[in-house]
Structure 1
Amino acid sequence: MFVTVAGLLAVVAALAAGYYFAMRPETLRIAVGPANSDDIKVVQALTQAFTQTRGHIRLRPMQTDGAAASAQALADGKVDLAIIRGDLDVPKNAQAVATLRKNVAVLWVPPATKGKGRKAGPKITKIPQLAGRRIGVVGRTQANVNLLKIILRQYGVDPDKVEIVQFPAAEAVDAIRNQKADAYLAAGPVNSKITADAITASTHDGGTPTFLAIDSAEAIAQNHPMYEASEIPAGAFGGSPDKPDDEVKTISFSHHIVARKDLSESTVAAFTRQLFASRQALLAEFPLAAKIETPDTDKDAVIPVHPGAAAFVDGEEKSFFDRYSDFIWWGLMALSAMGSAGAWFAGYLKKDERSNNSTLRERLLDMIVAARCSDSAEELDRMQTEADTILRDTLRCFEHGAIEEGALTAFNIALGQFHNAVADRRAMLSSAPQNPQRAGAQLRATGTL
């Protein structure tokens, strides 16, 4: 019984421990950067939301220098999640969880400057006219420079024949006002404040910037699957008149939330569920959360979707019992096996006790025969004392479970026969003559012996 109870408690404790470890909050490290970027703000808001809702998943932001550094941190296994650009090299161990936002490439030319004492060049209205010009790129990331080169090559412009200069986002407005370049490129969400401020800085002397349409956007998307053909809506950057005053064709790319390929399906599914649940709560105070979308679950997606995220999107997320039913079943089987093993072991431990009780029962049967042949009351008293001892040992064995109720019933019958034999023999001895030889003869004559 002790072994069985101990085994039961061990299995129950194991199941309880498994449930505790399965349901306790799990903290995921997420790489995001650069500092003061919109991505950092989104992740910080999500971190607070996850903590306030006491969800299963918690986030720990790990700040990096940018999307490329975040991707490298994921590739090195230093983080569980990362915010990366879709047009950069995606780590082999990365799988998509969500699309954080879509970015568009904005290429524009500021209006001609008056009264500056320098001769203005031909007006730029098309991308091929950028050859030999100086182009400013907003942002420090090399990815924006690579994006510009892809656009230029599509239109037959050799990037080596163009002077490219980068301006950090914080310095872009001043650089544009000081006319540091002939044209500018910015990449970000349509409602990006950085892009809007840069375009506003290009408006001077009553003129408005000229937006260069990327008419070959579909061709670029065919050659570079990480890009998509897109449009910048009229008036996307505000102002009076609207900037732009009409839709402008361009290319777009996405920022993705990716997870390590070896991160468990249940963990990623829980994170995805909390992500989209928190998105709704953040819309009022953080509009950028509205840009979060479900990942592309097609098999030919540029970044393959993580099975956990796909399960959430397709409505096939597994419940706790779905995930751990096999463990529960095997636990019950183990409990049953341990119970059987405990019963066998307990029986094995009581083997000697049962054998000893069987010997005592045989002794009691022999004492019945001896009592009928006894010639003295002293001998009967001794056998009675021995029978009491046997009774005590038998009851102890029954309490320990060494013998069953059927064996106790058989012993009770034998004990009753012994008491009857002793009583009959005492009556015979008390009524017999004092001469033992004569008494023995009388007993033999009556057939008692």
Structure 2
Amino acid sequence: MLITLAGTLALVGGVSGAYYFAMRPVTLRIAVGPAGSDDLKVVQTLTQSFAHSPVRLRPLQTDGAAASAAALAEGKVDLAIIRGDLTVPKNAQAVATLRKNVAVLWVPPAARAEKGKKSAPKITRIQQLAGKRIGVVGRTDANVNLLKVILRQYGVDAGKIEIAQFPASEAAEAIRNQKADAYLAAGPVNSKITTDAINASTREGASPSFLAIDAAAAISQNFPAYEAAEIPAGAFGGSPARPEDEVKTIGFSHHFVARKGLSEATVAAFTRQLFSVRQALLTEFPLAAKIETPDTDKDAVIPAHPGAAAYVDGEEKSFLDRYSDYIWFALMGVSLLGSVGAWFASYLRKDERSSNSSARDRLLDMLMAARQTELAEELDRMQAEADTILRDTLTGFEHGAIDQGSLTAFNIALEQFHNAVADRKMLLSNLPQHLQRTGLQLRSTGGL
């Protein structure tokens, strides 16, 4: 009983411990950057929203998406926001798409030519960018690589153009000062940085012209991280609308990614929390409306984390689903432990069982002796010994060393012994006194 109780308590404690371990709050480190970016602001807001949730966040600010990807690759963080057209770490698995971005390539209105000079030819096609100076908004090398991918598709040698990069905070001023012949920006369609840069290109009421990337589908075939996209008419406001018509371009995404090997249950819980607070973020961050579930196809550019895929497919596992096998094995283990404990307890009581067997044999011997003795005093001595044997036998039964069957057999033997003693005493009491004395003398001299 004690072993069974101990096993049951151990099982209950184990299940309770497993439940606490599975349901305890988990804090995940997430790499995001650069400082002041919308991505960082979104993560900081998520951190506050998740303060009392099962999965919590601890932001690690980086210099940008490339640095965030490196932090994930080195195992310094559990989550990261990375740019899909950069080198994706081998241990990265997609959790959600934070936002989709488009490449915007435009040419400012031509300045009025001085008297006697011809105006420079208007740039209307990407091929005409050869030999020109192109300004890239943002300090990240990823935007420069994006420009080179576009130029390569149209046969423009990147070595024959001049590329100038402007920080996002300085881009509008550089454009107003006519620092380049054309400009490239990459970001969400409603990006304020891109909109301000395009508005800065306006001259004397004339709007910039946008260069269409008609070969977007071909680019996406060669570079799966990119996809064909469109810039809707009037996306950047203004009058007339900028652009006046829909413009074809290429796009890429920023992703929430998780470290491969991170608990499936933890990632599923984070994904569920992320989409549950998405609507609450819309007022402060309209970009939150663009958060999408990851691509769960096996041929996805960034494979989906099993936890995120389970959430998307509605196949999240409950506590019992995840730990039912462990609970079953625990029950089997407790049963086995009980059997082993019972065997061990039986082994420890073998001496008691052997003693009981000897006591029963002794009782049978006294039964035979009681029927032959000629002395009442001898019967009293055997009766006292039988009482001692009875006490020891009952103690052994309480300790479990004697089973019910053995106790029944002992009771029969004891009853027969008592009957023999009673019969013998009655017989001796009915004998004449001289015969009792004769029997005593013969016994003392060894005649009996």
TM-score relative to the length of structure 1 = 0.92
Distance 1:45 1:425 in 2: 100
Is the aligned partner of 1:212 residue 2:211?
yes
- The letter of the residue matching 1:61 is P
Deviation at residue 438 of structure 1 after TM alignment: 7.5
Q: Secondary structure at the match of 2:277?
A: helix
What corresponds to 2:237 in structure 1? Answer: 238
CA-to-aligned-CA distance 1:310-339 (integer Å, 9 cap, x gap): 222222222222222221111111111111
- Give per-residue Cα distances to partners, 1:24-46, cap 9 Å, x unaligned: 12222211111111111121222
Per mean C-alpha deviation after superposition, the further-off stretch among 87-96 and 375-384 is: 375-384
**Conserved 8 A contact 1:3-1:346:** no
- Give the percent of matched residue pairs that are identical in Structure 1 and Structure 2: 76
Aligned match of 1:100: 98
In 1, are the aligned partners of 2:31 and 2:80 still within 8 Å (CA)? Answer: yes
Equivalent in the alignment of 2:81: 83
Instruction: Describe the superposition over 1:256-288 as per-residue Cα deviations: whole angstroms up to 9, x where unpaired.
Output: 111222223233222222222222332333322
CA contact (8 A) 1:398 1:404 kept: yes
Name 2:68's counterpart in structure 1: 70
Where 1:340 maps in the other structure, the secondary structure is helix
| Alpha-carbon distance change, 389 to 119 in structure 1, aligned in 2, over 3 angstroms | farther
Distance in 2, Cα, partners of 1:408 & 1:243 = 103
Does 198-207 or 340-349 show the bigger shift?
Answer: 198-207
* Amino acid paired to 2:90: K
CA distance in 1, matches of 2:302, 2:422: 98
Q: Which runs of 5+ in 1 are unaligned?
A: 442-448
Query: What secondary structure sits across from 1:42 in the alignment?
Result: helix
Match of 2:394 in 1: 395
Offset, 1:116: 9.0
Cα contact 1:113–1:205 (8 A) shared by 2 = no
SS of 1:15's partner is helix
Alignment of 1:264-343 (within 5 A): 264-343=263-342
Structure-1 residue corresponding to 2:135: 136
Question: How far is 1:189 from its partner?
Answer: 0.5
CA contact 2:428–2:436 (8 Å) conserved in 1: no
* Count of aligned pairs between the two proteins: 440
User: How far apart, in 1, do the equivalents of 2:204 and 2:113 lie?
Assistant: 10
Structure 1, 266-275 or 217-226: larger mean CA deviation = 266-275
Asked if the contact 1:25/1:58 (under 8 Å) is kept, the reply is yes
- Return the letter of the residue paired with 2:146: L
Match of 2:374 in 1: 375
Q: 1:145-164 residue pairs with structure 2 within 5 A?
A: 145-164=144-163
Select between 291-300 and 422-431 the one with higher mean Cα deviation: 422-431
Partner residue in 1 for 2:445: none
Say whether 1:16 aligns with 2:16.
yes
SS at match of 2:253: strand
Task: Tell me the SS of whatever aligns to 2:401.
Answer: coil
- Partner Cα distance (1:300, 1:116) in 2: 57
Q: Aligned in 2, Cα 1:16/1:340: closer, same or farther, shift over 3 Å?
A: same
Contact 2:19/2:319 (CA < 8 Å) preserved in 1? Answer: no
What residue is the counterpart of 1:445 in the other structure?
A: none
**Pairs within 5 Å for 1:14-53:** 14-52=14-52
The two structures have a TM-score, normalised by structure 2, of: 0.93
Matched, 1:427 2:406: no
Runs of 4 or more, structure 1, over 4 Å off, are 114-120, 437-441
CA contact under 8 A between 1:176 and 1:198: conserved in structure 2?
yes
Q: Residue 354 of structure 1 aligns to which amino acid in structure 2? A: R
The equivalent residue for 1:188 is 187
How far apart are the structure 2 equivalents of 1:70 and 1:385?
90
Higher alpha-carbon deviation: 292-301 or 163-172: 292-301
Q: Distance in 2 between matches of 1:341 and 1:148?
A: 73
In structure 2, list runs of 5 or more residues that go unmatched.
441-447
**Cα deviation, residue 115, structure 1:** 8.8
CA deviations 1:372-430 (Å, max 9, x no partner) are: 22222222221111111111111111111111122222222222222222222222222
SS in 1 for 2:412: helix
Residue 439 of structure 1, CA deviation: 6.9
Instruction: Provide the aligned C-alpha RMSD in A.
Output: 2.1
Answer whether contact 1:354 1:402 (CA < 8 A) is retained: yes
Q: Following the alignment from structure 2 to structure 1, what is the Cα–Cα distance between the partners of residues 331 and 400?
A: 26
8 Å Cα contact 1:8/1:339 also seen in 2: no
Deviation of residue 111 (structure 1)? 2.0
